[in-house]
Amino acid sequence: QKKKTTSSPPPLSPLSLSLLFFFSLSLSLSLSLSLSLSLSLSLSLSLSLSLSLSLSLSLSLFLRATCSEAEHRLFSVIFSRYNQYIRPVENVTDPVIVQFEVSMSQLVKVDEINQIMETNLWLRHVWNDYKLKWNPMDFGGVEFIRVPSNRIWKPDIVLYNNAVGDFQVDDKTKALLRYNGDVTWIPPAIFKSSCKIDVTYFPFDYQNCTMKFGSWTYDKAKIDLVLIGSTINLKDFWETGEWVIIDAPGYKHDIKYNCCEEIYTDITYSLYIRRLPLFYTVNMIIPCLLISFLTVLVFYLPSDCGEKITLCISVLLSLTVFLLVITETIPSTSLVIPLIGEYLLFTMIFVTLSIVITVFVLNVHYRTPKTHTMPCWVRSVFLGLLPRVMFMTRPERDPEKVAAKPHRPQASGKLQCSSSESLDGGIMSLLPLSPEVREAIESVKYIAENMRLQNEAKEVQDDWKYVAMVIDRIFLWVFVLVCILGTAGLFLQPLLLGDDV
């Protein structure tokens, strides 16, 4: 049996081994070389980046130091011989042209009681000062510089109708100087100006508050104001929850005052504002309307309940409380009565009349035949005519309760029977009565007469109650119409006025 043999690969020659060794060595060298090249490239990139950053940082620091040095040198040069108390004009007869603009950032408050409007304003002043010019090439290209405003001359523009003692604007803000001599100064300030408040249509009112700005010491020959734009700048205005600015035009005026012979220039802004009435409508007008309509229900309340006067007086007290609240809100003036005050006064008169009428109605309601006799005209008007006009129907009386008139007894004291009552074959006869029977008959007659009188008195008393009910119904409709017409007539006035505005 033959053995299986396996074939083995032939051994490599020395030449093949040497070639394989050199190939692997060259491959490893190329890989290491490429790796070193990539590392050197990244190092060079990072080095160049850090170098550029350091160069830019050093350059910016150098430029900043140079600019700061240039501004310091410029500040020293222009203020070395500058006098902030001298008007900046080359010719003393020339005026300083001051451009003026007001920017409103917030309408802080309108105080109706003290008649003061508080606003947050930015006052923009622009003028040219020939002593503040320089050549930017001599100072490292610096074209602008910001300096404290108390180091330069400024126009003394104040608010004429200021309501507080401080008329001057705070000069802690800096002014912007341009190389050609233009000066821009925008100081912010909170002003409290006097404003005549017209409360005729409160709370649906429109107000016109003016703010008058002008130089306090320089006349038109020294300072000439020029208005920038035609209205107050409202680009940065913050809306409030009570007032809306409708318009804010500005006007320039030249006025000669009694104190001086010179003509002074001022710029006056008229601020037209409208009150947002939602707060007062919800918290004052609607409760007043509801309380006033309660007055109408007094005439629908039955007189027998005994609470008609109580309801009227409660409504009157509620309106008095609302009137006290309004007097704390509106200014104390005797020139006009505000709209809400007129409505409350109208409602109070309304309620007072309802109290008087209710007292009269209760007096009619509780009348009796023993105290009052109903006239014929009252019976015909209030029981016949007016109920038909007011569409009132009265229940008919029960016919069984309408009794016939009782027969008077005969003087002989005998009982008379009807012809239908026959005795002994249908022959009518008169029988003599015993004293006991006559006494019983008299008692029955007395009781019947008394009941008849009581029924008649009750009917008359019911008639008086029905008359009171008719009067209540008449004044119910009268007061409903007066309340609706009065309310519409009062509150439509400001709406029509708003359409005209």
Q: How many CB atoms lie within 10 A of CB 436?
A: 8
* 438-446 LR contacts (CB < 8 Å, sep 24+): 438/413, 441/409, 445/406, 445/409
pTM: 0.67
Q: Can you tell me the distance from the alpha carbon of 381 to that of 158, in angstroms, rounded to the nearest whole number? A: 76
* Terminal Cα distance for the chain, rounded: 131
Please, are residues 118 and 192 in contact by the beta-carbon 8 Å criterion?
yes
pLDDT by residue for the chain (501 residues), tens digit each?
Answer: 333 443 444 444 444 545 445 555 555 555 555 555 555 545 554 555 555 555 555 545 444 545 578 888 888 898 888 999 999 998 988 999 999 999 999 999 998 888 899 999 999 999 999 999 999 998 888 899 999 998 999 999 999 999 886 666 777 889 999 999 999 999 998 999 999 988 888 888 899 999 999 998 999 999 999 999 899 999 999 988 889 999 999 999 998 888 888 899 999 999 999 999 898 888 888 888 888 888 888 888 888 887 888 888 888 888 888 888 877 777 777 778 888 888 888 888 888 898 899 999 988 888 888 888 888 888 888 888 888 887 777 776 655 554 444 444 443 444 444 444 444 444 344 557 788 788 888 888 888 888 887 777 788 788 888 888 899 999 999 989 988 898 888 888 877 766 555
Q: What is the DSSP letter of 207?
A: E
The Cβ-side half-sphere exposure at 501, using a 13 Å CA radius, reads: 16
Residues 6+ apart with CB under 8 A from 259: none
